[in-house]
Structure 1
Amino acid sequence: MIDMKKNNSDKIKELQKKNQENQRKYTKKREDEEKKANQLVHQMVSKIDANPHDYHHYYDLATLLVEGKDYEQAEELLMKALGIFDQSSEDIKDTLKFGLGNVYYAAQEYDRAIKIFQEINDDKLQAEAYIMLAQSYMAKGDNKRAMVFALSAQSTRQKDPAVNEMIGDNLLALGNFSQAAEFYDLVLTAEPQNGRANFNRGLVAMVADEPFESYFKRANQYDPAYFNKGQKKLKDIEKFIQLNGTKKAHDQHGKKD
């Protein structure tokens, strides 16, 4: 006769052992990543010490600190750099400001990020600043203002799929479905394997009563995480279509009467 208790106990022990091993691997991987990040930070600090008049080193170190979610130190470093390079050319100051704006954006301090990005005038960074302003307003849920800056960025980046997708996302949020479709089509011409754009183009096609299955199929194939996350959006659109259909039927009935 098989001893079921012993059998289950062995399975539990085996599972615990596996979990412990996975935990050890995860901890080791995280420690290795932290060690590597610390080494890179140390290298950048050494570069600043060796050449404190090269603004690139401050920007690069701040970027590393943001990647490590050390926003406070990154902010402190760039504020210090803006003091050091106070008498430098506008493009140097704007580069450091752009870095500072990115720190605030990463830390989800969107109002502070917006204030900094609006101060940037350098031609080479202008489009990037507009993109970050659009993203900051999108993060705040202000799609109308986001659209203004997304379109400003698009004036010099007409074929940039990231910018066109951002415009499509804002138009979708504002309920301008036919216009959103145009921008998603531009994105998919450049990036047919863009799962996000395929999913949102599918939503637009549903509203327009166009074939949409192929878009969702590609979305699920190329970005299953976004596809699964977007199921609430899908339900909201279905609800919108049903309500719209009911309203149309009601209006037509009213006209007949």
Structure 2
Amino acid sequence: MTDLNAQALEHMQKGEVEEAVKVLTEQIEKVPTDVVAYINFGNVLLSMGDVERAARFYDRAIEIDSNVPTVYYSYGNLYYQAQEYTKAAQKFQMALEKGLDEADVYFMLGISLLNQGEAKLAMPYLLTATEKNPDDIEAWFQYALVLAQLSLFDEAINAFNQVLAMDDTHADALYYLGTARLMNGEDSTIIKPLFEKVVTLQPEHEMALSALDAITAYEK
């Protein structure tokens, strides 16, 4: 990476958008075929909400070199933010095919598929995301949700427990753990304290409140 690209990334990390634009403009003027500069410029524009111009910079990067995987990842993020999940999944898949073998790519591909209602297709990508970054609590949570959707309750319970091992105050993980255990045949009286803990953490957690109401009615 050139010094100017490195400077631009530093500015982006600090939220200094104008400075990043200035540096990247200078780099592209100096080296009109610098793929990384075009990708970085597209990322800056995307962070500003300028989707159309960001896409043009990504397209230009692909014209220069269609084998740079990070441009497809950035393009995938563009489509994901626009809620165009089919196109997002295609771009993330391209990033993988071009060699960007990173947890974030697998996670975003899995989430893009999930947003299309493709839980079964999403599952292996989310699993890989947890394997490549075992400390990613959101990857574990989304993976657990997919397992629960697919009625793989034993596996879902294990995954929700992984989330709670990292954050025992994760209210949604507690709620869905309780739900998965109920669906797996456990007695509601055993599960009730989980829902009570959720409400302690989040007093307005509607799903947990509804679950407690249902259990209370059943006990009567």
Q: Quick check: TM above 0.5? A: yes
Distance 1:69 1:143, change over 3 A: same
Distance 1:196 1:59, change over 3 A: farther
Distance 1:234 1:145, change over 3 A: farther
Show the 5 A alignment for 1:107-146.
107-119=82-94, 120-146=96-122
CA distance in 2, matches of 1:99, 1:176: 33
The superposition leaves residues 11-39 of structure 1 with CA deviations (integer Å, 9 ceiling, x where unpaired) of: xxxxxxxxxxxxxxxxxxxxxxxx96455
Show the 5 A alignment for 1:111-190.
111-119=86-94, 120-190=96-166
1:237 deviates by 5.6
The equivalent residue for 1:214 is 197
Letter in 2 for 1:181: I
Which has the higher mean CA deviation after the structures are superposed, 127-136 or 169-178? 169-178
The equivalent residue for 1:104 is 79
1:142 deviates by 2.1
Match status 1:48 vs 2:24: no
CA distance in 1, matches of 2:40, 2:173: 31
Match status 1:64 vs 2:44: yes
Contact 1:95–1:125 (CA under 8 A) maintained in structure 2? no
> What number of residue pairs does the alignment pair up?
196
Scaled by the length of structure 2, the TM-score of the pair is 0.71
CA distance in 2, matches of 1:239, 1:174: 26
1:128 deviates by 2.8
The superposition leaves residues 12-69 of structure 1 with CA deviations (integer Å, 9 ceiling, x where unpaired) of: xxxxxxxxxxxxxxxxxxxxxxx96455434433333234444332222222222222
Whose radius of gyration is greater, 1 or 2? 1
Where structure 1 has 5 or more consecutive residues not aligned to the other structure, the ranges are 1-34, 221-226, 246-257
The superposition leaves residues 136-163 of structure 1 with CA deviations (integer Å, 9 ceiling, x where unpaired) of: 0122222222113212333433453232
Distance 1:52 1:157, change over 3 A: same
Distance 1:117 1:36, change over 3 A: closer
Contact 1:134–1:146 (CA under 8 A) maintained in structure 2? yes
1:76 deviates by 1.2
Letter in 2 for 1:217: T
Letter in 2 for 1:174: L
Letter in 1 for 2:89: I
Scaled by the length of structure 1, the TM-score of the pair is 0.62
Where structure 2 has 5 or more consecutive residues not aligned to the other structure, the ranges are 1-14
Contact 1:114–1:136 (CA under 8 A) maintained in structure 2? yes
